Amino acid sequence: MFNTNQLPVQNLAIMKTDQKSTECTRMGNYTLSHQGTFQGRHICLARDDQNKTYTCKRRTGAELNHIRKVQLVLGKCSRVLPIMNVVNTGSVLTESYTFQDQIRGSLADLVARKGPLPEMLAARIIRQVLQCLDDCHSRGVVIQDLELDHFVITSSSDDRIFLHDVVDCDIYHPDADHDAPINPFTAPEVMMSSQHTTTSNIWSAGVMLYVLLSQHWPFFGNTKEELIQSIFSGQYFVHPCVSFFLNLVLGYTIKTVQGLTL
């Protein structure tokens, strides 16, 4: 059943970390606290014996195996937030915890907190997003259902971002199909083939830039059908104050594939 509440017509919904508990737990060399959920996964803050703070996430064995497979292909990709350590909770690898540098929020959090971003900040952010996509694509890796939540901020200046989690990445195969949810970031070709490609990732990056600049979706609808029609139209409004350069970036990224129709 399609839920229209998942598609804000105007402003983005604010995403918050659910901090359910402040109890401290000891795990190896780490002290865990502020447990809750983030992007649908169990998460907490952790401090090591040198008092450095990390973000800790609970993983299933399948997730961890997938992460290792993708990271092996990506190598040292400069814009992917690396996993610093893995702690297994038992002798059988059914549940583990991964530790990364402390996350200060996602790009969705940033837009919800600041509203439309200044052009210089939006340009610095989208340049890093496109650099990350270029690194991934050159290694045959695409990101499933790319959106603002996939990129996180690790600096107080809000302009240093990383791909948060490679669990949502996959090694591209032309015959692979995925159950792709439809949202305002979804590219038209994904709706037609249920397949994420380098082209669909670039489209989603263009939508991200649009939201960073305006805090609104370029495509929207009160129903799933209206949203699909809006996306396939490829028509969106750009405020006259947006610079010529960023207009070019939007035009390059959000463009319909020739011959692709409903």
Is residue 109 located within the same domain as residue 31? no
Query: Which residues contact residue 201 at a Cβ distance below 8 angstroms, ignoring those fewer than 6 apart?
Result: 133, 136, 137, 142, 143, 146
Residue 152 lies in a domain: yes
CATH of residue 142's domain is: 1.10.510.10
Is residue 112 located within the same domain as residue 227? yes
Long-range contacts: 15-21, Cβ < 8 Å, 24+? Answer: 15/39, 15/106, 15/108, 15/109, 15/112, 15/149, 17/43
Q: Given 101, 135, 156, which residue is the final one in a domain?
A: 101
Residue 82 lies in a domain: yes
Residue 259 lies in a domain: no
Residue 204 lies in a domain: yes
76 exposure class (CB count in 10 Å sphere: 0-12, 13-18, 19+): exposed
Q: Given 73, 101, 129, which residue is the final one in a domain?
A: 101
Q: What b/e string do you get for 175-196 counting C-beta neighbours within 10 Å, with b at 16 or more? A: eeeeebebbbbbbbbbbeeebb
Is residue 80 located within the same domain as residue 138? no
142-163 average pLDDT score: 83
Is residue 155 located within the same domain as residue 191? yes
CATH of residue 83's domain is: 3.30.200.20
- Residue 18 has which token pair? 């659910």
Is residue 59 located within the same domain as residue 163? no
Residue 258 lies in a domain: no
Give the residue among 56, 60, 57, 58 at the shortest CA–CA distance from 93.
Answer: 60
pLDDT band, residue 210 (cuts 50/70/90): very high
**Structural domain containing residue 48:** 21-101
**How much is the mean pLDDT over the chain?**
77
Is residue 122 located within the same domain as residue 188? yes
The proportion of the chain whose per-residue pLDDT surpasses 90, expressed as a percent, equals 14
Q: Given 58, 75, 101, which residue is the final one in a domain?
A: 101
Angle at 50 between CA 56 and CA 40, to 5 degrees: 10
- The number of domains in the chain is 2
pLDDT digits (tens, 9 = 90+) for 49-97: 888 888 888 888 888 888 888 888 888 777 888 887 888 765 444 567 8
Residue 261 lies in a domain: no
Is residue 87 located within the same domain as residue 129? no
Query: Which residues contact residue 98 at a Cβ distance below 8 angstroms, ignoring those fewer than 6 apart?
Result: 56, 57, 59, 64, 67, 83, 85, 86
Is residue 91 located within the same domain as residue 207? no
DSSP assigned state of 257? P
Is residue 46 located within the same domain as residue 77? yes
- Residue 144 has which token pair? 């499933």
pLDDT digits (tens, 9 = 90+) for 85-124: 888 765 444 567 888 887 778 898 899 989 999 999 999 9
Residue 260 lies in a domain: no
Is residue 128 located within the same domain as residue 219? yes
DSSP assigned state of 226? H
Which neighbouring-strand residues pair with 250?
A: none
pLDDT band, residue 179 (cuts 50/70/90): low
Which residue in the block uniquely carries the two structure tokens 């010529």?
Answer: 244
- pTM surpassing 0.85? no
Is residue 122 located within the same domain as residue 207? yes
Task: Give helix then strand counts, H and E, for the chain.
Answer: 7, 11
